[in-house]
């Protein structure tokens, strides 16, 4: 995408979106992916129930607790956490494959996962926190999504403060007032991060060819 066909070889990055449930990160992730062929979504495994419209292998790998435990114990996850009473984990293999191709991986994970990826992948990680405009708007969005029963909505609202208290651990923070504006801001962050000198590993060879060795 950047540089058209004549691309400078670059190191792929790990682009993490976190937010309290309902702030809009899944919607923003879908929008980012729609127009970007250099980024691939990390599809997590989870033990939670499938929501209407969700597909196995696209939104999540829906697995039993036994299967999740087996995957965890065999080291198949790059990170994993218990969120809202269910297990969620990032399968290692896709992430490693995509990064090896010099492409980026997009993660929709909570603060616990973001901390773990930071520990294992440090320099390759870019963390963005999405805040809702207000608590009232967060609750409205959770309800209008109309995919969770009332007790689940209540539980997620009760956990929103705990998730939001981690905002300062992130590199960037976007208050998601308007989807179009937030999408544009996210894309700006992504493009700037791709252009960081240390990620453009093909630059040295290009410059060497232009100016010679000395
Ligand atoms: N800026 C916005 N203005 C109005 N509605 C929005 C905005 N952003 C997202 N929404 C809506 O809010 C609802 C929740 O969004 P979404 O499912 O993307 O949240 P999420 O952060 O991924 O939640 P979860 O962590 O539970 O997966 C959706 O119905 C979405 O269309
Ligand atoms: N640490 C991880 N958190 C994850 C992962 N996959 C999703 N999540 C987070 O869980 C909550 C709830 O998601 P929902 O789809 O049930 O609404 C949300 O904050 C996700 O970001 C994961 O692999 N690891």
- Domain annotation covers residue 132: yes
> In which domain, by residue range, is 169 found?
14-41+104-210
52-107: pLDDT as tens digits: 889 999 999 999 999 999 999 999 999 999 998 999 999 999 999 999 999 999 99
The CATH number given to whatever domain includes residue 187 is 3.40.50.300
- Domain annotation covers residue 155: yes
123-155: pLDDT as tens digits: 999 999 999 999 999 999 998 887 778 888 888
- Domain annotation covers residue 21: yes
Residue nearest to atom 10 of ligand 1 (CA): 24
Judge contact between 43 and 57, C-beta under 8 A: yes
Ligand nearest to the CA of 181: 1
Q: How much of the chain exceeds pLDDT 70, in percent?
A: 96
Put simply, whether the predicted model's pTM sits higher than 0.90 gets the answer yes
Q: Which two tokens stand for residue 54?
A: 């969700």
Closest ligand 1 atom, residue 144 Cα: 29
Q: Is the CB of 110 under 6 A from ligand 2?
A: yes
Concatenating the DSSP letter of every residue in 137-175 gives HHHHHHHHH--S-HHHHHHHHHHHHHHHTTGGGSSEEEE
Residue 52 assigned as binding residue: no
Strands, E, within 8-166: which ranges?
Answer: 14-18, 39-41, 45-46, 61-62, 77-83, 86-91, 104-108, 125-131
Query: Residue 175: which residues within 8 A CB-CB, separation 6 or more?
Result: 131, 132, 133
User: What is the CA(108)–ligand 2 centre distance, in A?
Assistant: 6
Q: Is the CB of 20 under 6 A from ligand 1?
A: no
Pocket test residue of 26, 134, 155, 158 for ligand 1, highest count of atoms within 8 A of CB: 26
- Domain annotation covers residue 203: yes
- Domain annotation covers residue 181: yes
- Domain annotation covers residue 68: no
Residue nearest to atom 24 of ligand 1 (CA): 21
Q: How much of the chain exceeds pLDDT 90, in percent?
A: 84
- Domain annotation covers residue 70: no
């Amino acid at each position: 995408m950047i540089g058209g066909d004549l691309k400078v070889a670059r190191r792929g990055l790990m682009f993490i979106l976190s937010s309290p449930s309902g702030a809009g990160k899944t919607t923003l992730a879908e929008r980012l992916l729609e127009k970007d062929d250099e980024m691939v979504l990390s599809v997590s495994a989870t033990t939670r129930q499938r929501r209407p419209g969700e597909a196995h292998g696209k939104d999540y790998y829906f697995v039993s607790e036994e299967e999740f435990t087996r995957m965890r114990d065999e080291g198949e996850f790059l990170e994993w956490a218990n969120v809202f009473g269910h297990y969620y984990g990032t399968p290692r293999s896709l992430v490693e494959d995509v990064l090896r191709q010099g492409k980026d991986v997009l993660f929709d994970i909570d603060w616990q996962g973001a901390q773990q990826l930071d520990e294992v992948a440090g320099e390759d990680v870019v963390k963005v926190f999405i805040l809702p405009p207000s608590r009232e708007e967060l609750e409205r969005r959770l309800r209008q999504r109309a995919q969770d029963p009332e007790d689940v909505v209540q539980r997620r609202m009760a956990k929103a403060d705990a998730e939001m208290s981690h905002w300062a651990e992130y590199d960037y923070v976007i208050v998601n007032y308007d989807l179009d504006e937030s999408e544009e801001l996210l894309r700006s962050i992504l493009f700037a991060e791709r252009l960081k000198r240390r990620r453009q590993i093909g630059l040295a060879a290009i410059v060497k060819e232009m100016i010679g060795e000395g």
